Structure 1
Amino acid sequence: MIRLAPYALRLRLSEEPIVAGAGDNAAGAVGIVAINPNQAFLSLGTSGIFCC
C-alpha cells in the first residue's frame, strides 16, 4: 500500500483520501478538455453519443 502522507505534505494537501469518479463520456469530455460552452464532442462506440 502506498502511503500518501509524504506526497500530501509536499503538495500542501490534506491527508484525507479523495475519491472521484465519472461516467465514460463525462470523463472523456474532461480528458479532451471539452468543458466550456460552445464545445462539443462525438463519441462513437457501441453506443454513439453527441455531447454539446
Structure 2
Amino acid sequence: MPGVQRAMARLDVRGHASFGGRLTEGAHGRIAPVILRNGKGGDFRDFAAIEH
C-alpha cells in the first residue's frame, strides 16, 4: 500500500476506507463468474457511508 500512502500524503486526506462494491452480470475476472453463479452478486455499495 505504499502507493496509497503516497497519494494520501499528496492529497492531504484525513483517512481512507474500503467499501463493498457492485458485482453484476458481465463482470470480468476469474472469480466473478463463480460468485455470480452462486447467487452472491449484487450491489453492496453504502452511498451514505461513502458520502460521509
- TM-score, structure 2 length as denominator? 0.26
> In proportion to residue count, which structure has more helix?
2
The structure whose Rg is larger is 1
Higher relative contact order (CA 8 A, sep 6+): 2
- TM-score, structure 1 length as denominator? 0.26
